[in-house]
A = this chain, B = another copy of it.
């Protein structure tokens, strides 16, 4: 047991050493490592597919749901997708060294604030092999070492992927420990990562609300909370009804299992008699089940709210509809029951829009747009580690700059403080 802990700390110490090398490596070298990863994944396709077949068989034996098995599955075309995602990540601009503030003090001291890598980033995530490759490339692109704890259902696939990526990193002249997995430490690994203050600089949990809650509660390492999305659309009395229908349908049905999918529609009472029946019909025609806590105009037999009441995150073809008295009530509802992820107002009233954008306390607030746009790719970030729903450090989609810290560099000529 003591040996096991020593092994774990030795692994993290190797990550720290790798992080120091990455911190002084040029962007070209880190990008070359990412491009090498693309080639290595293509070259290792047979071994990756064999390991993935093992994982899938174990998953089927364990009765994994078909959606989870699909996320776990790799085939020839998905492996090509992993390689091309890596090549795309190698093209992203390098955030390291960017100057954020510069000033010269009256005494001649020159102060420069620059972006620097965090160092070692830990990520605890789901059984999705594509995320393994994304995270490794994003870490290299931002100059960080990364310690991965993927879902155990993907353990064999991840082991082969990490091995292939480590080879590529080493061939680019960087330490193979730049990317490491702690899957071999089993269930203990995640807990140890959370308590590795001083060895791990940032921890990003992705996945279920339970996992995120556990990490926030137990971790002594700084954490970025991601994910849960109880996302709202408020249909104001000055909304264009066709636009409201477009946005609600898109936000709810374009993809349901994602955090930026719509969960609750709030309708201004002044237009509820006309708007609710139209919204409900369009949603029902699209196969969506309506939930409510009171009778809705023109809706027969709405289902009750989910177990979480107005805070239920369905992630399925279900939506809650509520009627609110006015803009204030809508803002109050969103701030109270939402998860501060993404919320949109549909209205032609510029003042109502301004108040909603200012007073709704969410990572992303929208006017006349579908909530599905909250995404690193859509925002033009090229990649995302996750969507932060907390306020410290980063808020909303997290791309490469969000994986950097800063450092003040002070250059003097012998100045002392009077």
A391 at the interface (CB under 8 A from B): yes
A380 at the interface (CB under 8 A from B): yes
Q: B224, A216: Cβ atoms under 8 Å?
A: no
Q: B395, A407: Cβ atoms under 8 Å?
A: yes
Q: Mark A2-33, 1 if CB is under 8 A from B, else 0.
A: 00000000000000000010011000000000
Contact flag A370-B415 (CB < 8 Å), given A20-B359, A378-B105: yes
What residues of B have a CB within 8 angstroms of the CB of A352 in the complex?
none
A367 at the interface (CB under 8 A from B): yes
> What CA separation (Å) do A199 and B322 show in the bound complex?
25
A247 at the interface (CB under 8 A from B): yes
A55 at the interface (CB under 8 A from B): no
A364 at the interface (CB under 8 A from B): yes
A406 at the interface (CB under 8 A from B): yes
Closest to A247 in B: B416
> What CA separation (Å) do A380 and B101 show in the bound complex?
12
What residues of B have a CB within 8 angstroms of the CB of A224 in the complex?
392
Q: Mark A389-407, 1 if CB is under 8 A from B, else 0.
A: 0111101100000000111
What residues of B have a CB within 8 angstroms of the CB of A367 in the complex?
409-412
Q: B369, A109: Cβ atoms under 8 Å?
A: yes
> What CA separation (Å) do A222 and B203 show in the bound complex?
12
Q: A246, B414: Cβ atoms under 8 Å?
A: yes
The minimal Cβ–Cβ distance linking A280 to chain B, given in whole angstroms, is: 19
Q: Mark A154-198, 1 if CB is under 8 A from B, else 0.
A: 000000000000000000000000000000000000000000010
A372 at the interface (CB under 8 A from B): yes
Q: Mark A342-371, 1 if CB is under 8 A from B, else 0.
A: 001000000001000111011111111110
What residues of B have a CB within 8 angstroms of the CB of A197 in the complex?
216
> What CA separation (Å) do A374 and B407 show in the bound complex?
12
Contact flag A392-B405 (CB < 8 Å), given A217-B220, A378-B105: yes
What residues of B have a CB within 8 angstroms of the CB of A369 in the complex?
109, 410-412, 414-416
Q: B410, A373: Cβ atoms under 8 Å?
A: yes
Q: B410, A366: Cβ atoms under 8 Å?
A: yes
> What CA separation (Å) do A379 and B223 show in the bound complex?
28
A302 at the interface (CB under 8 A from B): no
Partner of A362, one of B201, B357, B407: B407
A256 at the interface (CB under 8 A from B): no
- Kindly identify, within residues 238 to 285 of chain A, every residue whose CB is under 8 Å from any CB belonging to chain B: 240, 243, 246-247, 249-251, 254
Contact flag A392-B391 (CB < 8 Å), given A216-B220, A243-B414, A254-B417: no
Query: Number of residues in A with C-beta < 8 Å to the partner?
Result: 68
- Kindly identify, within residues 46 to 61 of chain A, every residue whose CB is under 8 Å from any CB belonging to chain B: none
Q: B222, A119: Cβ atoms under 8 Å?
A: no
> What CA separation (Å) do A391 and B115 show in the bound complex?
11
Closest to A369 in B: B412
Contact flag A412-B254 (CB < 8 Å), given A216-B197, A373-B417, A407-B363: no
Partner of A408, one of B20, B113, B250, B363: B363
Given contacts A254-B416, A367-B411, A396-B406, 15 further A-B contacts (CB under 8 A): A23-B359, A109-B373, A201-B391, A216-B220, A217-B220, A222-B391, A250-B417, A353-B411, A365-B409, A366-B412, A367-B409, A368-B412, A368-B413, A395-B405, A395-B407
Residues of A in contact with B (beta carbons under 8 Å apart): 20, 23-24, 103, 105, 109, 111, 113, 118-119, 197, 201-202, 216-217, 220, 222-224, 240, 243, 246-247, 249-251, 254, 335, 344, 353, 357-359, 361-370, 372-374, 378-380, 390-393, 395-396, 405-417
Q: List 16 contacting pairs A-B, 8 Å CB cutoff, sorted by A.
A: A20-B359, A23-B359, A105-B378, A105-B379, A118-B391, A224-B392, A246-B416, A254-B417, A368-B412, A368-B413, A369-B411, A369-B414, A369-B415, A373-B417, A392-B405, A395-B405
Nearest first, the 10 closest Cβ-Cβ pairs linking A and B are A369-B412, A250-B416, A391-B405, A393-B393, A372-B417, A222-B392, A366-B410, A243-B414, A392-B393, A370-B416
